[in-house]
């Protein structure tokens, strides 16, 4: 029952985790460069494993590589956001359809729980935390039981987080999102794949528009 991977993650693996965190939290701001020797010293490792970590993050879209120049944290144009959300929509609509036809009862309970917690948070005056939004989509993906789609959604979500630099949602948008989530759960509960896809598409369309406006202002 012991995990097949060693408890000691390789240095490269550890570096991936640390760097990913720093990039996603904005600790390494978009547009900035990642100096190999500097970061390697800071992490206490050699350049070899760090390079592998950098390449890995680049393959996830969290860094862009320029030959002989190094790795940069990408900053997004509205056009990028639009194109990225086309991919996200394709993936998550398919996931919504699959979830509607494959969900178990415990999947349904989990989805409802996340929605309920969102409402509680919102009613308590606190803003709808992005954490719960991620949790909802994550739960939905698991209910779809399609490992390849799940993996790709994870990567896209990450890139969305990266672009989401301190995007403080306004309450109307939060309310609409929660309504979308509720409607999605109902469609999935009914096993209505077509409606689940439609609602997901509308939801993501709204989120995308909101991100673009909050990006351009």
Q: To the nearest 10°, the Cα dihedral for 158, 121, 125, 23? A: -20
Of 69 and 123, which has the nearer Cβ to DNA? 69
For residue 33, state whether it binds DNA (rule: CB under 7 A).
yes
Q: Cα separation of 108 and 130, whole Å?
A: 21
Relative to beta strand 33-34, strand 64-66 is unpaired
Q: How far is the CB of 23 from DNA (least distance, A)?
A: 15
Residues in the chain: 217
Q: Is 42 in the site for DNA (CB under 7 A)?
A: no
What are the start-end ranges of the H helices in 25-104? 36-43, 47-59, 78-102
- The answer to whether residue 31 forms part of the interface with DNA (CB under 7 A) is no
**Residues in 60-99 at the binding interface with DNA, rule: CB under 7 A:** 65, 67-71
Axis crossing angle, helix 78-102 with helix 147-163, rounded to the nearest 10:
150
Would you count residue 157 as binding a copy of itself (CB under 8 A)?
Answer: no
Applying CB under 7 A, the span of 9-17, 117-125, 157-165, 188-196 interacting with DNA comes to: 9-17
Q: Give the DSSP H or E segment for 70.
A: strand 70-72
Q: Does 37 bind DNA (CB under 7 A)?
A: yes
SS3 66: strand
Binding residues for a copy of itself, rule: CB under 8 A, are: 5-6, 10, 48, 51-52, 55-56, 59-60, 67-68, 83-84, 86-87, 89-91, 93-95, 98, 146-149, 152
Binding residues for DNA, rule: CB under 7 A, are: 6, 8, 10-12, 33-38, 45-49, 51-52, 65, 67-71
């Amino acid at each position: 029952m012991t995990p097949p991977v060693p408890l000691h993650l390789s240095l490269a693996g550890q570096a991936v985790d640390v760097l990913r965190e720093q990039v996603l939290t904005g600790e390494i701001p978009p547009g900035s460069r990642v100096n190999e020797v500097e970061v390697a010293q800071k992490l206490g490792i050699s350049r070899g494993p760090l390079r592998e970590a950098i390449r890995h993050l680049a393959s996830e879209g969290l860094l862009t590589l320029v030959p002989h120049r190094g790795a940069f944290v990408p900053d997004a144009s509205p056009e990028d956001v639009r194109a990225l959300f086309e991919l996200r929509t394709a993936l998550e609509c398919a996931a919504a359809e699959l979830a509607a036809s494959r969900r178990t009862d415990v999947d349904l309970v989990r989805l409802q729980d996340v929605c309920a917690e969102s409402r509680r948070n919102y009613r308590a005056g606190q803003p709808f935390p992005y954490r719960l939004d991620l949790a909802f989509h994550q739960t939905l993906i698991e209910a779809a039981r399609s490992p390849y789609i799940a993996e790709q959604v994870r990567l896209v979500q990450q890139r969305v987080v990266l672009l989401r630099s301190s995007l403080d949602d306004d309450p109307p948008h939060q309310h609409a999102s929660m309504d979308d989530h509720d409607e999605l759960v109902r469609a999935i509960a009914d096993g209505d794949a077509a409606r689940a896809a439609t609602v997901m598409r509308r939801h993501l369309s709204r989120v995308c528009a909101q991100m673009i406006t909050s990006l351009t202002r």
